[in-house]
Each structure stands twice: as structure tokens, then as C-alpha cells.
Amino acid sequence: MTVHADARNDVDRADSDPLGGVYSSYRGPSAQISRDPTLPWWRRILPVISSHRVPFSIAIGLSFVSLVFQTLVPKLLNGAIDHSLIQHTATLRTAVIEVLVVGVIAGITGIVSRQYVFRTAYNVEADLRSLIYEHLAWLSFSFYDRVQSGQLISRANSDIRSVQMYSTFAPLIVVQSFIGVIAFAFMLSINVVLALIAMVVMPILYFVGIKMRRVMFPISWITQARLADVATIVDENVNGVRVVKSFAQEEAEVNRLADAAERVAWAYIKDAQLRAIWSPWVQNLPQLGLALVLFFGGWMVIDGRLGIGAILAFNAYLLMLQAPFMMLGQLVMMGQRAKASAERIFEILDENPTVTERPGAYDLVDVKGRIEFDHVSFRYGDGPDILADFDAVIEPGETVAIVGRTGSGKSTVARLLTRFYDASEGAVRIDGHEITDLTLHSLRTSVGVVMDEPFLFSISIRDNIAYGRPDATMDEVIAAARAANASEFIERLPHGYATVVGERGYTLSGGQRQRIAIARTLLVNPPVLILDDATSAIDVHVEAGIHEALATLLERRTTIVIAHRISTIALATRVLVLDDGRVVASGTHEALLATTPLYAQILAQATTERD
């Protein structure tokens, strides 16, 4: 077989530079969230933020320095007015230089602080995304049976962004709010009575903030949940676009999305209404303090007990106090949305897999391939039994076909052997080892599965075939493609093995996808192979070529063939007939045709459905 030189070079370059020349410096999360569900949500996130404490501390420290220098400006102005313009005891030039120097220092420290805080924020966000993805990869198939992918996408995107923004910016906003404390200290140094008058609105602001937090949380939860609903609909329509178009349901899906979008709009409008009610209280109550300062301060100036510079300084400090109050209002709203998002994220992170390794699990090595199903029963969730007292033994090197009506449990057998699910009753063994005593990695690398609906990634054909063995040489990839009878059509593609397939492999035909999936499994060379209706979408003539190549390969491994076609069943030396989740007959194809009417009925039904 010949592969074009440019295609081989493209593949080699893809291996050496999988990101197209862009190398990521991200090394994964350096900390885990707390697994204690009794802790407040922010305490559970804290370990992730603490892992970035150095840049975060620099950001907080420089922000505080910047605020201190900002609060010095009104005090310098007070002195400049009193000493330079009124008393003429100092030059105005000196006062201007002092103000400029303080302003420049405040600006520089503020700029550096923002750089560090943004770096921390996005690193925390990357950590949270990685933690969720790692956990999703750890969860069992039963979790994905009941959770919509759009919900997961929403929680891994918009919910994480809400938590990240609050977790990293809330401490910064709190530090910035200390400008009020510093400003109040300066106000006290100027005039104690006037400073106390200016702060008379503080108790009112505290109670307003408490009330605002209570009313904002429910609508924040509703908003995030409805955004997830929109993400689910979009995800389903993108992935199922062929079904939508084939049934001419574009308008119905647009209407479904419009309804979901309207529900999101209602939530946002309700959120805006609540903000419109409560935010003005938080933002404008300080104006009352300003009015009181002008009234009583003006009276003190007229009475000769206070200088004009002090009134101007007080006004400047009160203006500074407005920013923290506005920030605190924003902080309350961000906090409620972050709390709602965090609880939705923890719903995933607190989920535990149903299939786990036992303590002391050991690797499966030197696999001979003897498989035993010992009175196995299984049901999905609370449903009826799919397998009931399923009992079978497959000897090393034997090729066994499993045949049964739709819903008889054929594919479930494959899922139990790979521990995608655990049997409800009974035991599954390989070479005498119960699979529940084995490490999942060693089990699944020893048992290869080619499914009836092959999934391909949006990467090159070479990388799809080498997915289970990324370090495989090009010659090994080509050999696997040959064994799957896929090399001929791959070579006809414009870029050969370097051709990038479309999403889910839909730029290829169903038969081509299945052949690549077969090649992907054969490259791993597992001692136990499961073909789950793996040639159902392949033309009969092409299937014959695959069977010819597989015939030699199957001699060296234990193989379970789940099939309907007689041509595929012919690969097997023995056939198991399933009915109602149990084996009702076992024997060769010819013997079963002669002795088991059910077997002939199943084959006839499969032939009729295919035709």
C-alpha cells in the first residue's frame, strides 16, 4: 500500500505538533475542591484559589497600595488649599507635584494589580474546567444515561464563569471597599462630628444588602437553569441536524428554542427588575450622607469651625465612598449568581461513579481469553431485567456469535464484559478472574469493542485509527486499515491518512466510519474482541473483504460477534441464541437451523428488516 508523501508528512507534523504550532503552558489543576458537602460553597472552591495564592496575593496587595495612595489625594488637596491658597504658608507648585506623584504611584500599582488578578482569574477558571472534565471522565455510563449533554455543557461554561468571576473578583472588591474605611479614617482626622454625620446611613445600607441577597438568589438559580435548557436544545439540534432536516422539523425546533429563549428572557427581566428596585438604594443612600455633610459642614465653615479645604476633602471622600457601595451591590448580585452556579456544579462533582475499582484491584495480564458468564442478571436502573440468569462459557480463541431479537440483551453482554455496567446478580470472569477484582484500565485494554454506531473525532483519519495507541507507527496504522478493508478508500481521499473528518465522522459514509472503527480496535490488538453489529452499515461485498481479513486475526483471539447477518454469523464457530435475557440454545449455525425454530425466525426477521 502506498501513502502519498505529502499526506505522510502532514501526519508526522500532526504528531509532533498536535496543536498546530501552539503549545499550551497549562499543566492541569494544582488543587481539588473540597469534597465535604456540608461546607459553604465558597469554602469548597477555596483550595483551588489558594493554589494560586502568590499571584493572587500580589494582586490584592498592590490593589490595597493603590487605594491607599488614592485616598491621600483629598488630604493633600485639603492641605494645599489651606496652606497655599488661604494661609500662603506653602507654595502651590509643591502641592501639585505631591498630588501628581501620588496619582502616578496609585495608577501604576493599580495596573499591575489588574494584570495579576486577571491572570489568577483565568487560571482558576481553567482549573475548574479541568476538574469538571476529569470528574466527567471518571463517572459511569449510568450517569450519562440520565443527564443531558447540554446541561453538562452549560455547567462547564457559564456556571464556571460565574463562580470564577466571584471567587477571584470578590476579594478584590472587598479590598477596594476598604477605601471606605481609609477614607473614614481620614475624615475622622479632619473632623470627628462631621465624619459621624456622613456615616449615619451605614446601618440602613447593611439591612438593604441583606434583603437584596435574599431576593436575588432564587432568580439567579432560575436564570442559570434556563440557560442550561437553551444549551441542551442547541446541542441536540446541532448533533441531530440530519434528523431534524429529514423530518422537516426546522420550524418546530426553532419554536422550541424560541420558547426556551423567552423563558431565559423572563428570568433576565425579573433579575433586572429586582436590580432596579434594590440597586438604587445601595448606590444612592450615600448621596444622603453627602447632603448632610454639605448642610452641617457649610454651617461649620460659616461659623468658623471648619476650613473650606476640609469641606472639599470631605466631598471627595464621600465620592470615594460611593464606589465601594456600588461595588458591594454588584458583589451581592454576583455572589447570588455564583452560589446558584456553584450548587449546580457540585451536583456533578458530588456524583459518584457506580462502577469503581475495589481496594486491592490488580491488573489482568497474560490474557488467554476464557470468558465466563455465571448466572448473570442485569437491569438498567429500575427497569425490568434485560439479562436474567444468563449463563455461558467462551473458551480461549473461540469465536462465538450472539443472536437474538431486538431488546434480548445482546449488546448488554458486551457492556457487562467491559464493566461499562456491573451485573445486578451473578459474576463475569476472564481467565477465572472476576472482572470486579481487576483494574478498569487493564480490563478495557484487554477487551476491545467495535460498536454498531462508531464515533469518530474531528481529527485526522490516522489519529482516529491510532486513538487507542497514539504512539503507533504509520506502518502499524496502515496495517490495521488494511485488515479492516479501509485502506483503499482512505488512499483515495485528497490528503489520505491526514484527512480530517467532520464532526462525528459525518463526512464519511456509515460503512467507512465502521471500517475505521474496526481498524482502531484492531490496532490495539486486544486478546478479547467484541464486534457489536460492527458491519451493519457496510456493503455486503465490502463486508466479505473484511471477513476475509478478520478470519486470520480471529484465530488468535477470543471473539464475541453480535450480529444479525448470516454472513457475519458465519465467522463464528458457535452461536448462542438469546431470548428474554437468557441463553435458550447453543450450537453451530447449521445445527441450530435444524433444531431451533426460534433461531430461524430471528434470522428471517433480521433479513426482512434489512430488506
Mind giving me the DSSP string for 239-287? HTHHHHHHTT-HHHHHHHHHHHHHHHHHHHHHHHHHHHHHHHHHHHHHH
> What pLDDT, on a 0 to 100 scale, did the predictor assign at position 87?
57
* Averaged pLDDT, 468-487: 89
Q: Please, which pLDDT band fits residue 4 given cuts at 50, 70 and 90?
A: very low
Q: Give the whole-angstrom CA distance, residue 607 versus residue 196.
A: 91
Could you list the residue range(s) of the whole structural domain that residue 507 is in?
A: 371-610
Bridge partners, residue 583, by sequence: 578
Domain boundary among 316, 349, 382: 349
With 50 as the cut, is the pLDDT of residue 22 above it? no
Give me the percent of the chain exceeding a pLDDT of 90: 13
* Averaged pLDDT, 100-124: 87
Q: Please, which pLDDT band fits residue 323 given cuts at 50, 70 and 90?
A: low
Q: Is residue 301 part of a domain?
A: yes
Q: Give the whole-angstrom CA distance, residue 305 versus residue 190.
A: 11
Tell me: do 444 and 574 sit in the same domain. yes
Summary mean pLDDT of the chain? 79
With 90 as the cut, is the pLDDT of residue 430 above it? yes
Tell me: do 344 and 409 sit in the same domain. no
With 80 as the cut, is the pLDDT of residue 105 above it? yes
Do the Cβ atoms of 353 and 138 come closer than 8 Å? yes
Angle at CA of residue 449, ends 446 and 455, nearest 5°: 130
> What pLDDT, on a 0 to 100 scale, did the predictor assign at position 19?
35
Q: Model confidence over 554-598: pLDDT tens digits? A: 667 898 988 777 777 877 889 999 988 889 999 988 898 888 888
Bridge partners, residue 577, by sequence: 403, 585
Tell me: do 388 and 291 sit in the same domain. no
> What pLDDT, on a 0 to 100 scale, did the predictor assign at position 483?
83
> What pLDDT, on a 0 to 100 scale, did the predictor assign at position 549?
58
Cell digits for 458?
A: 474531528
* Averaged pLDDT, 495-513: 80
With 50 as the cut, is the pLDDT of residue 1 above it? no
C-alpha torsion sign, points 369, 361, 411, 372:
positive
Report the domain count for the chain: 2
Tell me: do 334 and 450 sit in the same domain. no
* Averaged pLDDT, 457-481: 89
Q: Is residue 23 part of a domain?
A: no
Q: Is residue 357 part of a domain?
A: no
With 50 as the cut, is the pLDDT of residue 23 above it? no
C-alpha torsion sign, points 14, 17, 21, 22:
positive
* Averaged pLDDT, 336-343: 83
Q: Is residue 20 part of a domain?
A: no
Tell me: do 509 and 396 sit in the same domain. yes
Tell me: do 299 and 429 sit in the same domain. no
With 90 as the cut, is the pLDDT of residue 372 above it? yes
Q: Is residue 490 part of a domain?
A: yes
> Is the full-model pTM beyond 0.95?
no
Give me the percent of the chain exceeding a pLDDT of 70: 82
Highest mean pLDDT among 180-184, 382-386, 525-529, 543-547 belongs to 525-529
Cell digits for 163?
A: 463562580
Q: Which residue has the higher pLDDT, 327 or 489?
A: 489
Q: Give the whole-angstrom CA distance, residue 585 versus residue 335.
A: 63
> What pLDDT, on a 0 to 100 scale, did the predictor assign at position 427?
94
Tell me: do 273 and 396 sit in the same domain. no
> What pLDDT, on a 0 to 100 scale, did the predictor assign at position 18?
37
Q: Is residue 67 part of a domain?
A: yes
Tell me: do 474 and 574 sit in the same domain. yes
* Averaged pLDDT, 164-172: 80
Q: Model confidence over 79-102: pLDDT tens digits? A: 666 655 555 555 667 777 877 888
Q: Give the whole-angstrom CA distance, residue 161 versus residue 141.
A: 27
Q: Is residue 22 part of a domain?
A: no
Tell me: do 326 and 429 sit in the same domain. no
Tell me: do 408 and 542 sit in the same domain. yes
CATH number at residue 190: 1.20.1560.10
* Averaged pLDDT, 195-208: 75
Q: Model confidence over 289-301: pLDDT tens digits? A: 777 777 777 777 7
Do the Cβ atoms of 381 and 143 come closer than 8 Å? no
Q: Give the whole-angstrom CA distance, residue 194 versus residue 339.
A: 39
Q: Which residue has the higher pLDDT, 271 or 209?
A: 271
Q: Please, which pLDDT band fits residue 548 given cuts at 50, 70 and 90?
A: low
* Averaged pLDDT, 158-175: 81
Tell me: do 213 and 289 sit in the same domain. yes
Q: Is residue 5 part of a domain?
A: no
**Dihedrals phi, psi of 387, to nearest 5 degrees:** -115, 135
Tell me: do 343 and 378 sit in the same domain. no
Among 31, 42, 36, which residue's Cα sits nearest to residue 164?
42
Angle at CA of residue 560, ends 556 and 564, nearest 5°: 130
Q: Please, which pLDDT band fits residue 11 given cuts at 50, 70 and 90?
A: very low
Distances in Å between the Cα of 155 and the Cα atoms of 29, 206, 262, 289, 342 are: 18, 32, 20, 42, 9
* Amino acid letter for position 211: K
Distances in Å between the Cα of 40 and the Cα atoms of 37, 211, 531 are: 8, 20, 48
Domain boundary among 349, 379, 411: 349
